[in-house]
Structure 1
Amino acid sequence: MSKTILITGSTDGIGKLTALKLAKQGHAMYVHGRSEAKVSAVVSELKEASNNQNIKGLVADFSNLEAVSKLAEQIKTDIPKIDILINNAGIFKTKDVQNKKGLDIRMVVNYLAPYVLTNAILANIKNAEAPRIINLSSAAQAPVSEAVLMGKEQDSQNSTYAQSKLAFTMWSFHLAKQEPKIIVIAVNPGSLLNTKMAKEAYGQHWSPAEKGVDVLVDLALSDDYKNDSGKYFDNDKGDPKGYFSPAHPNAYDAEKIRTLLSVTNAILSKI
C-alpha cells in the first residue's frame, strides 16, 4: 500500500538515497532541502530514476527556525495525512557556528528544527492509520549543556554535535510516551557512512551509505517494529543490520528530559 512519506534533508546522502528507494516502491514522497534549485533538481532526478511522478519538494533552511515554522504551516495545508516522517536533516561541520539568533547551528538543525517541525505537524501525522516518526540520532551522544543549547557558550564541534544528538534522542523517547498512537524510533543509521557529511567531517568512511538507507526503509515500513516505539536502534551493532540497544543513560532520565524540554520551550518562546 502506498504511503505518504516526508524526509527532511533529502537532497544529499542517505536522505536522498532513502527517498529514491521508497520512491521506487511507489510511495508518495516529499523531499526537503534548503536550496530551491537543488530541491527542484533532486525531485526531477528522483522522478526519472524511480519512474514515480508522485514526488514533491519542500524548501526551508533548518538553521532558521522561522523558516521551519513557515514550512510547517505549508505542510499543514498541503499534506493533510503523513504516514511516515523521517527527521534526517543534520549538520556536523559548518562555516558559521551560530545562526542569526545566536544559537549554535548544530543545535538548531539537529534538534530544535525537527522539534519545531514535528510538533507543528503532529495532527497531520495522527491522521494516518499507523504513523511513524524515525528520528536520526547518532553513536555520538553527550550530556546536554544548557549554556550550549541556549547559545551562551560554545563547545567543540564534536561535543556540540553529540549534545544535539542526545537532545534529539531524549525528546524522541518523550514524544513516544506522549503520542502512543505514533511509533517513534531513534536510530543511529551507522557511523561514518559513505556520505558528504562524513567526508567533510572526517575525510573517510567505514561503511557504504546503503547500510543506513536499508535500516531507514526497514524501520519506516516493516511490521517488525510496531511494538518498538520509544527505543533506540543502533545500526553499528551488527552487520548487515544492527539491533535495538541502550542509548545514553540521560535519555532515560525523566528529570533531565523535563529540564531539556523546559529550556527548549524557553528558547523557542523568544523566537
Structure 2
Amino acid sequence: MKKNILITGSTDGIGKLTALKLATEGHSLFLHGRNPKKLEATIAELRKETNNKFIYGAVADFSDLQSVRKMAKRTNLELSKLDVLINNAGVFKSSKLVNEDGLDLRLTVNYLAPYLLTRELLPVINKAAAPRIINLSSAAQAPVSLAAIESTTKIGVQEGYAQSKLALTMWSFDFAKKQKDIDIIAVNPGSLLNTKMVKEAYGNHWSSADKGALILYDLAVSDEFDGVTGAYFDNDKGNPRGDFGKAHADAYNATKIEHLINTTDELLTRLGF
C-alpha cells in the first residue's frame, strides 16, 4: 500500500537516499530542506530518476522554531493523512553554537525541532491507519543538561550533539507510552556513515550511507515492524543490518524523562509554542 511519508533533512545524506528508495516504490513523499533551491533540485532529480511525480517539498530552518511551526501548519493543511514521519534532520558542526533565541543549536535542531514538529503534526498523523514515527538517534548519547536546554548554561559542540540525541531518544520512549496508536522507534542508523555531516565533523567514515538509508526504509514501511514501538534500533550491532538494543541508561529512567519533558514543555510555552 502506498503511503504519505515526510522525511526531514532529505536534500542529502541518508535522508535523500531513503527518499530515493521510497520514491522508487511509488510512495507519496514530502521532503524537507533548509535551502529552497537545493530542495527544488532534489525534488526534480528524484522525480526524474524514479518517474514518481508525487514528490513535494517543504522549506524550514530547524534552528528557528517559528519556521518549524509554519511548516507543520502548511503540512496539516496540505495532507489528508501522514502515514510515516522520519525525523532525520540534524546538525553537528556549525559556525554557530546558539540560535537567534540563544538556545543551543544542536539541541534545537536535533531535539526541540522534531519534538515541536511531531506535536504539531499529530492531527494528520492520527488520521493514518497505522502511523509510524522514526526518530534519528545516534551511538553518541550523553546525559542531558536541563540547564543547557533552557540556555542558562553553554555546552560544546560534541556535548550538544550527544545530549540532543539522548534527549530525542528519551522523548521517543515517553511519546510511545502516551501515543498508543502510533508506532515510534528511535534508531542509531550507524556510526560514521559516509555523509556530509560525518565528513565535516570527522573527515572519515566507517560505513556507506546506504547502510543508514536501508534501515530507515525498513523501519518506515516494512511489515516486519508493525506494532513495534518504544524501542531503540542499533544499526551498529550487525552487518549489513543491526538489531534492537539498549540506548543510554537515562532513556529508561522515568524520573529523568519526566524532568526532561516538563522542562521542554515549559520552555516551548515560554517561547510561545
TM-score normalised by L of structure 1: 0.99
Equivalent residue, structure 2, for 1:226: 226
Equivalent residue, structure 2, for 1:76: 76
Equivalent residue, structure 2, for 1:150: 150
Equivalent residue, structure 2, for 1:20: 20
Amino acid at match of 1:82: L
Amino acid at match of 1:3: K
Give structure 1 regions of 4+ aligned residues with deviation exceeding 4 angstroms: none
Equivalent residue, structure 1, for 2:10: 10
How many angstroms does 1:148 deviate by?
Answer: 1.2
SS at match of 1:121: helix
Q: State the distance in 2 between where 1:44 and 1:58 align.
A: 14
Equivalent residue, structure 2, for 1:94: 94
Q: State the distance in 2 between where 1:218 and 1:80 align.
A: 24
Equivalent residue, structure 1, for 2:31: 31
Q: State the distance in 2 between where 1:223 and 1:53 align.
A: 25
Equivalent residue, structure 2, for 1:205: 205
Q: State the distance in 2 between where 1:187 and 1:53 align.
A: 29
Amino acid at match of 1:78: E
Equivalent residue, structure 1, for 2:126: 126
Equivalent residue, structure 2, for 1:186: 186
Structure 1: tracts of 5 or more residues without a match:
none
Amino acid at match of 1:169: T
Amino acid at match of 2:166: L
Q: State the distance in 1 between where 2:146 and 2:127 align.
A: 35
Q: State the distance in 2 between where 1:75 and 1:102 align.
A: 27
Deviates more, 1:197-206 or 1:248-257: 248-257
How many angstroms does 1:80 deviate by?
Answer: 2.2
How many angstroms does 1:49 deviate by?
Answer: 1.0
Q: Share of identical aligned residues, percent? A: 56
SS at match of 1:227: coil
SS at match of 1:23: helix
Equivalent residue, structure 2, for 1:249: 249
Q: State the distance in 2 between where 1:183 and 1:105 align.
A: 28
SS at match of 2:258: helix
SS at match of 2:176: helix
Q: Deviations along 1:128-175, whole A, 9 cap, x unmatched?
A: 111100000000111000111111222221111000000000000011
SS at match of 1:217: helix
How many angstroms does 1:23 deviate by?
Answer: 0.2
Amino acid at match of 1:163: Q
Q: State the distance in 1 between where 2:87 and 2:50 align.
A: 22
Q: State the distance in 1 between where 2:58 and 2:192 align.
A: 27
Equivalent residue, structure 1, for 2:55: 55
TM-score normalised by L of structure 2: 0.98
Q: State the distance in 2 between where 1:200 and 1:6 align.
A: 26
Q: State the distance in 1 between where 2:66 and 2:135 align.
A: 21
Equivalent residue, structure 1, for 2:113: 113
Equivalent residue, structure 2, for 1:161: 161
